[in-house]
């Protein structure tokens, strides 16, 4: 199973060091794939028992892009995994940039967790599947280092995940388009994680709030 933690704009350099130390110890023997996306200011140089990923980057090696982080900066921390298309970033940019990020990350062999998800309006209009298909159209669904995360916007940070039936329907649909491992994200917590991981085609979870405390994240991983 894949357990990914998106720490978003939480944790500092010093608090993430403690987070990583505790997580490293807990992961000394695990067969699961654990990925953590800290804020980039907190990237660690040390070797970890988990994969460090970047929440964001700019599709360049380096250059005149004020405020951005390029591949050169990720390389310094041996970061080979990136999150692309999270709804919180989609809200800030356009699809062309998402596509440029995907193409750049693919060209450089990064593991990509590509996020898709509809809002409540689309869901209520019964347009979820066509909306998600459109979001997936801009990327190479056969890329061997791709993971797709389904994160319905209405469930992110609300404490209420999508229903088992809805997740099942969506993952079934995505699996008809791509062989990539599929994650679910959106209010995953200790009360619903077992049920979510048991859903057909679900290879893991992308966790926000419930992974902010390392002890909670470890509990979710260890079941």
Candidates 76, 107, 118, 151; catalytic one: 151
Instruction: Find the shortest distance in angstroms from Cβ 143 to ligand 13P.
Output: 20
* Annotated catalytic residue 151: yes
Nearest alpha carbon to residue 185 among 168, 200, 206? 206
Q: Shortest Cβ distance from residue 13 to ligand 13P (Å)?
A: 21
Q: How far is the CB of 4 from ligand 13P (least distance, A)?
A: 8
The residue with its CB nearest to ligand 13P is 208
86 included as an active-site residue = yes
Q: Burial of 139 by CB count in 10 Å (0-12 exposed, 13-18 middle, 19+ buried)?
A: buried
Q: Are strands 146-150 and 111-116 parallel, antiparallel or unpaired?
A: parallel
DSSP of 66-83 = TT---HHHHHHTT--EEE
- What does the DSSP 8-state code read for residue 180? S
Catalytic residue of the set 28, 68, 76, 86: 86
CA-nearest of 169, 212, 209, 166 to 186 is 209
- Quote the least distance from Cβ 72 to ligand 13P, whole Å: 25
Residues that bind ligand 13P (CB under 6 A): 6, 86, 151, 156-157, 185-188, 206-210
Buried b (16+ CB within 10 A) or exposed e, 149-188: bbbbbbbbeeeebbeeebbbebbebbbeebebbbbbbbbb
60 or 223: CB nearest ligand 13P: 223
Active site residues: 86, 151
């Amino acid at each position: 199973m894949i357990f990914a933690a998106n720490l978003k704009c939480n944790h500092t350099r010093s608090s993430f060091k403690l987070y990583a130390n505790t997580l490293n110890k807990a992961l000394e023997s695990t067969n699961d794939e654990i990925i953590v996306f800290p804020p980039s200011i907190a990237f660690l140089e040390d070797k970890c028992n988990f994969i460090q990923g970047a929440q964001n980057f700019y599709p360049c090696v380096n250059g005149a892009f004020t405020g951005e982080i390029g591949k050169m900066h990720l390389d310094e921390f041996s970061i080979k995994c990136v999150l692309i298309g999270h709804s919180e970033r989609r809200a800030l940019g356009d699809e062309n940039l998402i596509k440029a990020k995907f193409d750049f990350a693919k060209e450089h062999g990064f593991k990509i967790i590509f996020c898709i998800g509809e809002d409540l309006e689309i869901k209520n209009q019964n347009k979820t599947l066509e909306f998600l298909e459109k979001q997936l159209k801009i990327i190479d669904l056969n890329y061997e280092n791709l993971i797709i995360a389904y994160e319905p916007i209405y469930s992110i940070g609300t404490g209420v995940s999508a229903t088992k039936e809805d997740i099942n329907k969506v993952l079934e649909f995505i699996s008809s388009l791509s062989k990539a491992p599929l994650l679910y994200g959106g209010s995953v917590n200790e009360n619903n994680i077992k049920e979510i991981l048991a859903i057909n085609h679900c290879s893991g979870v992308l966790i926000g709030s419930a992974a902010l405390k390392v002890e909670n994240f470890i509990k979710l991983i260890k079941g």
